[in-house]
Amino acid sequence: MNKLTNKNIVLGVCGSIAAYKSADLIRRLTELGANIRVVMTQSANEFITPLTLQTLSQNPVHQHLLDCDSESNMSHIELARWADIILIAPCSANFIAKLAHGAADDLLSTVCLATRSPIIIVPAMNNAMWENPATQENIHTLEKREVIRFGPAAGNQACGETGLGRMQEPVQIINNLNEMFQAKLLHGQHILITAGPTQEDIDPVRYISNRSSGKMGFAIAKAAVEAGSKVTLICGPVQRSTPRHVDRIDVRTAEQMNTAVSNFVTQADIFISTAAVADYRPQVTQSEKIKKTSEDLKLELVRNPDILLNVANAANPPFTVGFAAETNNVKENALTKLKLKSLDMIAANQVGNEKGGFDSDENALAVFWPGGEILLPMATKEKIARELIAIVAERFQVSRFSETNPIIKNR
Ligand code: C5P
């Protein structure tokens, strides 16, 4: 079955000469079994008729926000809920600006504001409009909000100029959509992820912590959502925006993280422990700020719970993935941890060097599981996260399969 079969797509069409391509796009999408509901902006009418798009999509075209007939047919909220994705092709500079500012003054912008599903824009405009700092700032805002963008392509433009701004061709858009839906490797699974550092209080103003930024854990959470799973992210103190569709729980100390993990772990199919949990905490947290009275100061530290170890050794553990941030002997230390903590997988990286690791945007990982390993060379944390999730998904399926097929497991 095609990846687009039975997918519900709200196709937004804006006012652009490229709107003629929307007709071909609809025809191809319906041939692949997608259900299409077209929402046209007012100016789209100047370029293509609703009748054309209605005939091709085999559904009424939606155009008006405050219209009894349209609302009784399918309201803006119903359209927003119905959509598996909202695809806006062509997407004009004006609509990009409206989307960036959260406008809700017509049907398409209101549906975009009301949806929890991914929004994809396929820009189409003159290259000077595309390059204008106003448009670029709006695009940047949308990227931060995880609006997906296909194109624009470069080449000859209807205005006679050449450059970036052409709407992507329908065939390319369909290839991109197929790739997106293909990625749903973990559909229906619940993934619990920890991220960031923990802070262990010394007194009301001081704590012990580490340099973890949470970037890797957040990138993994995002990749897990893209792969179709429900994601709960338990994070230590980090200033990061929560990826779309991720349930986030903020904690500060290792003990709080441990409690939060035990509250959710029984519902989880997979546990990924990226958090740099402090191994020790002060035995006593002073209730008042410690004064600078003596020449030296001794802090008594006690062990924190090993959250990962506890999860992996619980009665009915999820598929458990640990992280090993090491300054030396990366492979050896990772393999020891994999065994000692009875993990299903461990992802090791070198920290304390110039590139990769804690606060960097890039990382390289060596991933080990009983009987296998794979190296993920230096790349952005987003790319590494997607690759790691693909490996986790594969090993998770294998472990599920061998649990239900003991002959294979015992081989
Ligand atoms: O043994 P080590 O602390 O180096 O193991 C690192 C792995 O264990 C990481 O996945 C980290 O998130 C997890 N960990 C934990 N609880 C601790 C310490 C580390 O879950 N107290």
Task: Render pLDDT for 205-225 as a digit per residue (tens, 0 to 9).
Answer: 999 999 999 999 999 999 999
173 and 194 fall within a common domain: no
Distance from the Cα of residue 309 to its chain's centroid? 27
88 lines ligand 1 (CB under 6 A): no
Which of 157, 180, 203 finishes a domain? 180
Q: Is the pLDDT of residue 408 over 60?
A: no
234 and 148 fall within a common domain: no
Nearest-angstrom CA–CA distance, 269 and 271: 7
70 and 88 fall within a common domain: yes
46 and 163 fall within a common domain: yes
62 and 175 fall within a common domain: yes
pLDDT band at 410 (very low <50, low <70, confident <90, very high): very low
Question: How far apart are the CA of 349 and the centre of ligand 1, in A?
Answer: 13
For the segment 368-393, the average pLDDT, to the nearest whole number, is: 91
In the prediction, which pLDDT does 176 show?
87
Known catalytic membership, residue 159: yes
Using CA atoms, how far residue 18 sits from 10, 110, 261, 348, 388, in Å, is 18, 23, 50, 48, 38
324 lines ligand 1 (CB under 6 A): yes
169 and 269 fall within a common domain: no
Q: Is the pLDDT of residue 72 over 90?
A: no
pLDDT band at 383 (very low <50, low <70, confident <90, very high): confident
168 and 282 fall within a common domain: no
* Cβ-based neighbour number of residue 46 at 10 Å: 12
For the segment 193-211, the average pLDDT, to the nearest whole number, is: 97
Please provide residue 40's backbone torsions phi and psi, each rounded to the nearest 5 degrees.
-105, 140
250 and 360 fall within a common domain: yes
pLDDT band at 355 (very low <50, low <70, confident <90, very high): low
Q: Is the pLDDT of residue 357 over 80?
A: no
In the prediction, which pLDDT does 409 show?
39
Q: Between 221 and 328, where is the model more confident? A: 221
218 and 148 fall within a common domain: no
283 and 386 fall within a common domain: yes
Q: Is residue 393 part of a domain?
A: yes
Q: Is residue 245 part of a domain?
A: yes
271 and 352 fall within a common domain: yes
pLDDT band at 34 (very low <50, low <70, confident <90, very high): very high
Share of the chain above pLDDT 70, in %: 95
Question: How far apart are the CA of 258 and the centre of ligand 1, in A?
Answer: 11
Q: Is the pLDDT of residue 254 over 60?
A: yes
Q: How many domains does the chain have?
A: 2
In the prediction, which pLDDT does 328 show?
83
Q: Is the pLDDT of residue 146 over 80?
A: no
Please provide residue 53's backbone torsions phi and psi, each rounded to the nearest 5 degrees.
-70, -35
In the prediction, which pLDDT does 404 show?
60
Nearest-angstrom CA–CA distance, 92 and 113: 17
CATH of the domain at 277: 3.40.50.10300
In the prediction, which pLDDT does 42 show?
96
Please provide residue 402's backbone torsions phi and psi, each rounded to the nearest 5 degrees.
-75, -25
Nearest-angstrom CA–CA distance, 38 and 99: 18
Question: How far apart are the CA of 277 and the centre of ligand 1, in A?
Answer: 6
Q: Is residue 2 part of a domain?
A: no
279 lines ligand 1 (CB under 6 A): yes
For the segment 70-82, the average pLDDT, to the nearest whole number, is: 85
Mutation choice for ligand 1 from 277, 341, 367, 392, CB with most ligand atoms inside 8 A? 277
CB 195 within 8 A of CB 234: yes
pLDDT band at 411 (very low <50, low <70, confident <90, very high): very low
Which of 152, 180, 208 finishes a domain? 180
- Of 14, 112, 159, 235, catalytic: 159
Amino acid in position 254 = A
Nearest to 398 by CA among 370, 366, 365: 370
For the segment 282-301, the average pLDDT, to the nearest whole number, is: 94
Residue nearest to atom 1 of ligand 1 (CA): 337
108 and 240 fall within a common domain: no
Q: Is residue 3 part of a domain?
A: no
Q: Is residue 1 part of a domain?
A: no
307 lines ligand 1 (CB under 6 A): yes
Nearest-angstrom CA–CA distance, 384 and 387: 5
Burial class (CB in 10 A: 0-12, 13-18, 19+), 74: middle
Q: Is the pLDDT of residue 33 over 90?
A: yes
Q: Is residue 353 part of a domain?
A: yes
Mean pLDDT of the chain: 91
Q: Is the pLDDT of residue 275 over 70?
A: yes
> In the chain, what are the helix, strand and coil shares in percent, each to the nearest 5?
40, 25, 35
In the prediction, which pLDDT does 73 show?
74
For the segment 185-201, the average pLDDT, to the nearest whole number, is: 95
List, in order, residues 6 or more apart from 16 with CB less than 8 Å away.
44, 47, 90, 92, 124, 125, 167
Please provide residue 376's backbone torsions phi and psi, each rounded to the nearest 5 degrees.
-110, 105
CATH of the domain at 107: 3.40.50.1950
Nearest-angstrom CA–CA distance, 307 and 30: 49
Q: Which residues pair with 13 in a beta bridge?
A: 40
Q: Token match 């958090």: residue?
A: 275
Which of 161, 180, 199 finishes a domain? 180
Q: Which domain holds residue 138?
A: 8-180
In the prediction, which pLDDT does 356 show?
59
Nearest-angstrom CA–CA distance, 133 and 140: 10
Question: How far apart are the CA of 334 and the centre of ligand 1, in A?
Answer: 11
Q: Is residue 185 part of a domain?
A: no
Share of the chain above pLDDT 90, in %: 73
Q: Is residue 320 part of a domain?
A: yes
